Structure 1
């Protein structure tokens, strides 16, 4: 083997030994992270070590096959590493079987094995260092001999030529050594990059767990408060009824208010997680903002001056108009609160373009044409540290009872789910502007009209007993309540606990007018049931319901076209409006 090749060979063995030690340390770190947290994502370094350690041994075995002492040391190292990985694996399996068992990691044994592994690796590195010194000397001697031979051959021609050739030979040798060092350095840099990525991945996971903990804590707090009110009202109502007292409306209203708040909370959480069901339509932002301006003025109160600045020629967008209205209203209410109920709120629309430089500097932002909807206030402004946390769920600067901390996170989730971008600009003492960028829509589609205000006649609505509705729900209590609600609206009702039972009822009752079905059911889901029912009864009306955000009629957060959907939980008024709309009948009292 040429001297230069021997140098490269020695450097390669040194790198492989250091990588082997790093692999064992990563495995140990991953196991400890899993033992401390119970989170199996920390096991990735351990599993990677098990996958790659065999390849490490094969590489080292090939490269030390010419050195008997190094082969013996490698056998020792392989034995120690196998014992250490075995002890790590055993403790992981014990933790998986009994998560609450005390942590007895066998630290003394583990430390002894790792120290022994480091000692063997140190011996092998020392041997390779000795070999490197020897082989470098051999390479220099080889170069020198070459120089002497060439010089002798050319000495008769010219001393100057000999000197030039000697210098060239030296440059070649230096270049060869530099190339070897560069290759080794690049390999080490790649290994270090992989290690950094592993550490960053673990850090991101830890941050994610912290965010989940914050979210869970806020959610539990809000739900416990609402459940406490509901339970208290029901207990008091039960006692009043036992005593024959009739003044129970206020208790019912308080309980219903908490139910509505709980439902709104779940919708906001779905919005933040980008899983709320959207029904996008072609929207003219100017018409939408102009149409809701009066409602915003009524909501904010007379002390707030509301101004709309609508640019001409604003492009169309493809979003859920109800959710966009909700987002604008959320921002307007936040703006009012930032001004202590006195000041000016400005809502603007315009066309905008996000360039490539801006897109690269902001996550999940694409270059292109957008419609901008901005909400500004003349309040006190926000410092940078508050802006950085503004979109976090349950983060609020408002006092107790004045906000859930979910308003901005809901807006953020809706904008991201719609493929847009949201940015806060604020200066202390000057006010705040929240800018929503929604992608320009260039397809065909009728522009959505103004939203119809919900009817207040749900409690007094009476359907026709000649209309027969089939309710399909696998959960017994939910099915019982849904049947009672449909009956109370005046319709005739059949009920089924499964899709198979529902199809049998459809075959036996050709006069069924509407199928009201849950989506998430065992064996056959609601979508499959509806398709089979329509195959048998093409004129059958269908209404779907579910509390699960990812289901057979919602894909990528968007409700399938032409689907009639009523999300759980729903009130009797919402049920009345949906059923009457699908049946094509007018509400009557």
Structure 2
């Protein structure tokens, strides 16, 4: 009998130990995952990401073993076991993505995951204890029966056989579970490898995009610095040109025909200098624009004859514009100038002839590289493209194409200001410009202009003015702090049969106005001594000058927008002379101003 009891104890220990072992092993693997998370958040941890994922997968497979098959049915008998395994399964599902995305040094996320798994420890510990009590209770009952009745020896033997069979089934199920786990791990490794390759590819693409954006930003900053420099130079240069050009015009009335041949080259050179400063100011975005709702299709069509004459017979021109093209908010005159500059550049790129294509279409931009680089804002734009099939540009030439005075033409064949003028004009208009070019295949310049909410309006043309209009002895007050320009204006007005009062500061102007001396018109610089502007000064004392026409003059168009709320629009009701100005321009402005008053 004793030998039978001993054999019974030995065989019965197998299912009991299996049940207890599975429960304890699950608890142990949970602690291993928690320990791995705690260690993983340390910078000097020896736990790798792969080891952490392996511990997570092993715990998951253990939960599957405990919830299915024969052992699953045994665990269901334990109090609270099914609920605990369900909570464990849900926790594993909820945290799988966080475990996969967890990176080294992510202390906060690792700590949160560890705390969440820590909440399961008491429940799994309770299952281990219940499994021990359950198995021990079954065994104790069996021992009591064998101790009292020898008859139960046969039953014990049968139970031993049954237990052996159960152990065999459990072992078979465990092996099958291990195979499934291995297959599952292989699939997960393959999926993660694919994900890593995809992430690496996306990362490389983002790096390339960021590098391109950084290059555009650096280029934009460089162009901004150059623009500030050229704008400042143009201010003083225009004053000098005004004096040279004005005095040269006055000389024409005092010299004979032989000396006029010497004066006229001075006038031509000063006029060319004026054009150069105008382009510099366009590049530096300091010109005074007059943007309005503009039908680009009409303007492009109206330029066809001019482009035909400028490009010659070897260049074929194609116009392609959308039927429902939005109106653009742009200065029409500057737009035509920009198109002409691009067309001339295209002609030089096609010395043996070719095709020039001008296209216009609507675009709504939200995530364009020009927006990412900060050159323009998201919104509705009209894209105006000028394309040629000429020689194209290299990458190095393209990088410097918008810089002033940069040119690939021979000395004396170009100033290098055409593209820089286009760049500054489009930027100042609230848009952006971009170049696409390939050597041997041609160049495409894209200009983006903001959409206008207003419909285009056709303005009546101004009556033609006779450039030789003379005054009738009216008195013109001149306010100019630059003595050279002041003397020039005084001489020009006398030559036009006007009387003058020449002053250099606003205080003297107030004294003259208070004296009651008759003033028929005022010619004033935009920027006055003391930091105030001409419009501000005359607006402040409007009661003293309300019936007197005022003509402003400026050698630096940015001056006329100093106090404008939108930063670029000059009031079209204010007459403005851009230095250097011709005598005929001054005569026309005065005639028109006095005509409106009288």
Q: Distance in 2 between matches of 1:487 and 1:351?
A: 53
The aligned residue for residue 454 of structure 2 is: 443
Match of 1:340 in 2: 351
Structure 1 residue 179 corresponds to structure 2 residue 187? no
User: 1:283-432 maps to which residues of 2 (within 5 A)?
Assistant: 283-301=294-312, 304-340=315-351, 342-357=353-368, 363-432=374-443
1:583 is matched with 594
Q: 1:55 maps to which residue?
A: none
Q: Distance in 2 between matches of 1:461 and 1:207?
A: 46
Asked whether 1:573 is paired with 2:588, we answer: no
Shift of 1:166: 4.7
Inter-CA distance 399–268: structure 2 relative to 1 (3 Å threshold): same
Structure 1 residues 188-224: Cα deviation after superposition (integer angstroms, max 9, x where no partner): xxxxxxxxx9xx99x988996799689979x99xx99
Q: How far apart are the structure 2 equivalents of 1:310 and 1:453?
A: 32
Cα pair distance change 1:215/1:344, threshold 3 Å: farther
The residue that corresponds to 1:267 in the other structure is 278
Task: Report the alpha carbon displacement of residue 165 of structure 1 after superposing the two structures with TM.
Answer: 4.5
8 A contact 1:499–1:525 mirrored in 2: no
1:279 shift after superposition? 1.4
CA distance in 2, matches of 1:214, 1:333: 23
Look up the match of 2:552.
544
Verify the 8 A CA contact 1:520 1:548 in the aligned structure 2: no
Root-mean-square deviation (Å): 4.6
Structure 2 CA distance for aligned equivalents of residues 378 and 209 of structure 1: 30
Cα distance change of structure 1 residues 536 and 341 upon mapping to structure 2, 3 Å threshold: farther
Residue by residue over 1:415-434, the C-alpha shift from the partner in whole angstroms, topping out at 9 and shown as x without a partner, is: 11112232333344443332
- Which has the higher Rg, Structure 1 or Structure 2? 2
Residues 209 and 371 (structure 1), Cα distance of their counterparts in 2 relative to 1, 3 Å cut: closer
What are the superposed Cα offsets for residues 66-90 of structure 1, whole Å, 9 maximum, x if unpaired? xxxxxxxxxxxxxxxxxxxxxxxxx
State the SS of the aligned residue for 2:258: coil
How many residue pairs end up in the alignment?
Answer: 407
Question: Which segment is superposed worse, 379-388 or 489-498?
Answer: 379-388
> Deviation of residue 414 (structure 1)?
0.7
1:508 paired with 2:515, answer yes
Tell me: CA distance 1:272–1:517, structure 2 relative to 1, closer, same or farther (3 Å): same
Distance 1:248 1:406 in 2: 33
> Relative contact order: is structure 1 or structure 2 higher (C-alpha 8 Å, sep ≥ 6)?
2
Q: Secondary structure at the match of 1:559?
A: coil
- How far apart, CA to CA, are the structure 2 residues paired with 1:566 and 1:369? 34
Q: CA deviation at 1:396?
A: 0.9
Give 1:516 shift: 1.4
Tell me: CA distance 1:509–1:295, structure 2 relative to 1, closer, same or farther (3 Å). farther
Q: Per-residue CA shift, 1:27-50, capped at 9, x if unaligned?
A: xxxxxxxxxxxxxxxxxxxxxxxx
Kept after mapping to 1: 8 A contact 2:356/2:387? yes
Aligned to 1:476: 483
Are 1:529 and 2:500 an aligned pair?
no
TM-score, normalised via structure 2 length = 0.58
Distance 1:473 1:300 in 2: 44
Shift of the 577–287 alpha-carbon distance from structure 1 to 2, 3 Å rule, reads: farther
Sort the Cα spacing of 1:309 and 1:248 in 2 relative to 1 into closer, same or farther, 3 A.
farther
